[in-house]
Structure 1
Amino acid sequence: MMFMKAGFSDRIFINSSVFLWLVFIVIVSVIVSQQGMSHTVTPSYFFGADLWMQGKDLYDGSGRGFIYLPQSAVLFVPFAYLAKLSFSVAEVTWRIISLLLLVFTLWRFANLVEPKLIARAFFIITITSIPLVFSSARNGQFNTILEVMMLLAVCAVAKEKWCYATFYLVLGLALKPTMVVLLLLLWALYRPLWWRLPIGLLAIFIFPFFTQTPIYVWHQYVNSMAMLKTASALGATTTDWAQFFGLLAEFKIIISQRLQDFIRIIAALFILYCGVRAQKKFNKYQVAIFLYTLASCYLMLFNPRTENNDYGIVAPALGLFITVFFVHSYILMLLLVFVFLGLVMSGNLSFNGSREFWSAPFFTVIFTVIVVAQIFYSKMRNTIFKTE
C-alpha cells in the first residue's frame, strides 16, 4: 500500500486529505442527484453520444453545444446508455469516477517531490484543488478528466514511461482538444515521444471507424475541424471569457483575432524555450512539474474559450509550488497563497454574484511570472524534489 510507511505527521496529512476528498465527493454527488438539468453540461455529452450511435451529425455549426472531437462521443457512449436507464445515476457516476481518478493522479503528482514532503504536498494540493474544481465537478465538465490525463502524462514522462505517456496524451486529446497544448510541448521536448506519438495519434484517429460507417466518421472529422475553427473564432471575438485577452478587454484593449493568434504563437514558443531551459537546469522530476505548470497556465491564458471553471487545472501546480516555497521562500509562498485566494474568488464560489472575467487570468499571469522566474533565475535546492 502506498501509505504504509507514512510517519505520524504524514498520516495526519494523508488521512485529512482523504477525508476532505471523500466529503467533497459525497457533497458533489448529493448536489448533482438533486439539481436535475441545472448546473450540468453532461446532457451535451449524452446527446453527442446518442447522435453518434444514430449516425447523425454531431455539430450544428454554431461553435456551441458539443464542441469535442468525435472520439469523445464514442467514449461517452456507456454513460449515455446509463443515462437512458437513470439520468441521475449517470450524472453521479460520471462525477464519482472523474473525482476518484483525480485524487489518484494528484497523489501521483505529489510524489514528484522529495519523499518526506509528499504527504504535505498532497494535503496542500487537496486544499488548493477542492475549491477550484468544485464548479467544474458539479457541472460534470471534461476539465476534470483533462486534468487527470495531463497529470498522468507528466508523471509518466518523469518516470520515462514513454508508452504510458503516449497513451495518456492521445486519450486526453480524444476527450478534449485542448490537451494539444501539453501534447505538443512534450512531443517537442522528449525524443522518445517523437515516433510514439504519431503511432498513438494514428490509433486514436482510426478508432472511431470501428464503431460507425467510414463515410459517416470521415464526415464528422471534417465537420469537427470546422467546429473548432468556429468555436475558436467565437472565443476570440467576444470578451466574456476568462483568458488573457479578456483581461486586456477590461482595460479597453481590444485585439483583433489575427493579432491574438500571433501572440498565442509567440507565447507558445516562449513556453517551449522555458521547457528547454528547465531541462538543462533541473532533474527530470522538477522538469515534469514545470512542464505541467507551464502548459496549464498557457492553456488558461490563451485558450480562446477559457471559463472561470477551468482554473482547477492549475490548482495542482499551485499547491505543489506552495509546498516547495514553504521550504524555499516564505515570501513567494505567501504570494502564491494570495494567488490561490484570488482564483477562488474569481470562480463561481465568489460571494458577490457578479460575472467577471479579468481576475482569474490576472492571478494566473502572476503565477506564470513566478514560475518562469524560477526557471531563469532561481537556485532551488534539489533536496525538496525527488532525486534520480
Structure 2
Amino acid sequence: MMVTKPVFDRLGFWWVGSFLVVLGLALWSPNARSVVHIYRHGSEAFLSGRPLYQVEVAMGYLYAPAFAVLYVPLLKLGPYLGDTLWHILGFGLLTFAAMRQVRKLSGQEQTWLLSFGLFLALPVALAALRNGQATILLTGACWFLTLSTLEGRRAESFFWAMLAIIAKPTAIIMLLLAGALRPRLIPALVLAVLVALAIPYGFASTDYVNAQYHDFVRLLTSMTVDPTGPFVPADFTAPFTRFGMPVSELDATIVRMFAGLLTLWLVLQFDRRLDSNIGGLAIFLAAAFYMCVFNPRVEQNTYAMVAVPAGLSIALLWREKGAEAMCWFLATFLFVTGLTSVDLRLHDLFHPWFRPISISIIACVLVAWFWTQDRQKVPVAGAVAHG
C-alpha cells in the first residue's frame, strides 16, 4: 500500500476549499439550509425582552441565554456579514484546534497528518459547517479545553470552558472530565460556568433573565427519547427505534450513566498511560464519541464533533506499519459515512440509525488502538506508510 504524500497534502486542503464554497453559498442565500436564523431569532428575542424558549415542543432556540448575548454583535452586522463571520469563527476555531493537536504529535509529516485527517473528516463535518451549527464552535472550544487542561493552564482552561458552555450546554460533560483530569483546575472551571451564567444579567433585567433560566432548565429536563415528538434523536437509541425496538427512557438513562462512568475511567487511564503527545487526541476522541452517541439531544450533524479527531487518529494510525487493512477500513468507513446524505434516497435509508453505528465502530477501534500504546510505543518519525 502506498499513500502518496503530495496527493493527500493537496486533497487535505479541500477542507479550506470546501469551506470557501460554504461561505459563498451562505452569502448567496443566508437562510437556505442554515440554522443561523435561529441564533438571530434568539438574540432578537433577548434584546426585545421576549421569551427565548418553546418549552412545550422542545424545538427552536435551545441554547443558554448567554449564547443570545454572544450573537448580538453578529446580529447587528446583518445576515450577510454577521453570518459570514459566524461561519469563519467556528471553522477557524476548529481548524486551529486540530493544528494545535497535530503540533503536539511526535514524528515528522505533520502537514500530511493534518491534511489527510481533515480530508477524511470532511464529508461528515461538511453539513454542520454549511448549516453554521454551534456544534463546530463547541468542538473547537472543547478540544482547546482538553489540551489546556492537560497542560494545566488555568487562564486558558477558564476561557475555553466558558466559551464551550455558552456554545452548548452539553459542554458540561467536557468540563466534568477536565475537572477529573486536573482537580486543581476545578475552581477555574466552576468560575467559567458562573461567569457564563452571569453574562446575561449585564444586558437585561434580573426578572427577565431569571424567567429565561427557569424555562431553560425546564427545556433541558423535557428532552427525552420519545420517538413520537418533533425531534428525531440520532444517538444510540436511533437504531433500536428504527428497527422497531424503542429503548425506554429509564433504560437509556442507565446506559448513558454507565457509558459516562466508562468514559471517565477511560480518559483517566489514557492520561496515565499515554505519552502527552497523543494523550490529548485520545482523550478528546473518547469524550467527543460520548458526547455524540450518548447525548440525548443528538442530530446527524452533531457527529461533526467526532469526525475531525477520528480523522486525525486514523492518519496517525496510518503512519504505523503493519495495520494496512485496518487503515483502509477505517478511512473508507469514515469517509463513506459522510456520503450517506448526498442523495435524498440515501438519506431516507440511512437516517438516523446508520451514523451512530458507524461512528461507534470507528471510535471503538481507534480507542482500542490507543489503549495498546504506551510511552514506549508512541509513533515515531520514519514509521511512515506513504511515500
Is the TM value for this pair above 0.5? yes
Deviation at 1:158, TM superposition (A): 3.6
TM-score (norm 1): 0.88
* Preserved contact between residue 294 and residue 368 of structure 1 (Cα < 8 Å): yes
One-letter amino acid matched to 1:53: L
How far, CA to CA, are the matches of 1:315 and 1:78 in structure 2? 30
Q: Does 1:68 align with 2:67?
A: no
**What whole-Å deviation, never above 9, does each CA across 1:23-51 have from its counterpart, x for those lacking one?**
22221112122234321111111010011
Q: Does 1:330 align with 2:339?
A: no
Superposed counterparts of 1:220-235, under 5 Å: 220-232=212-224
Deviation at 1:296, TM superposition (A): 0.9
Change (3 A) 1:11 1:370: closer
Deviation at 1:230, TM superposition (A): 2.1
* Preserved contact between residue 136 and residue 143 of structure 1 (Cα < 8 Å): yes
Q: Does 1:150 align with 2:179?
A: no
Choose which of 361, 370, 373 in structure 2 pairs with 1:366.
361
* Preserved contact between residue 35 and residue 131 of structure 2 (Cα < 8 Å): yes
Task: Tell me the equivalent position of 1:5.
Answer: none
**What whole-Å deviation, never above 9, does each CA across 1:123-145 have from its counterpart, x for those lacking one?**
11220232222111211111111
Task: Tell me the equivalent position of 1:357.
Answer: 352
One-letter amino acid matched to 1:336: L
* Preserved contact between residue 98 and residue 144 of structure 1 (Cα < 8 Å): yes
Deviation at 1:239, TM superposition (A): 8.3
Choose which of 35, 45, 56 in structure 2 pairs with 1:41.
35
Deviation at 1:240, TM superposition (A): 3.1
Task: Tell me the equivalent position of 2:378.
Answer: 382
TM-score (norm 2): 0.88
Q: Does 1:103 align with 2:95?
A: yes
Change (3 A) 1:277 1:49: same
Deviation at 1:13, TM superposition (A): 6.5
Change (3 A) 1:181 1:30: same
Deviation at 1:290, TM superposition (A): 1.3
Choose which of 268, 271, 277 in structure 2 pairs with 1:276.
268
Superposed counterparts of 1:143-292, under 5 Å: 143-232=135-224, 240-292=232-284
Deviation at 1:236, TM superposition (A): 9.3
Unaligned runs of 5+ in 1: 1-8
Task: Tell me the equivalent position of 2:24.
Answer: 30
How far, CA to CA, are the matches of 2:268 and 2:83 in structure 1? 42
Change (3 A) 1:69 1:319: same
One-letter amino acid matched to 1:57: P
CA RMSD of aligned residues (A): 2.5
How far, CA to CA, are the matches of 1:263 and 1:126 in structure 2? 31
Q: Percent identical across equivalent pairs?
A: 21
Q: Does 1:81 align with 2:73?
A: no
* Preserved contact between residue 42 and residue 140 of structure 1 (Cα < 8 Å): yes
Task: Tell me the equivalent position of 2:293.
Answer: 301
Task: Tell me the equivalent position of 2:384.
Answer: none
Unaligned runs of 5+ in 2: 382-387
Q: Does 1:51 align with 2:38?
A: no
Task: Tell me the equivalent position of 1:4.
Answer: none
**What whole-Å deviation, never above 9, does each CA across 1:75-122 have from its counterpart, x for those lacking one?**
010111122xxx233222321232223222221122231141321111
Task: Tell me the equivalent position of 1:113.
Answer: 105
* Preserved contact between residue 236 and residue 260 of structure 1 (Cα < 8 Å): no
3-state SS of the aligned residue for 2:109?
Answer: helix
Change (3 A) 1:350 1:159: farther
How far, CA to CA, are the matches of 1:20 and 1:36 in structure 2? 22
How far, CA to CA, are the matches of 2:201 and 2:231 in structure 1? 38
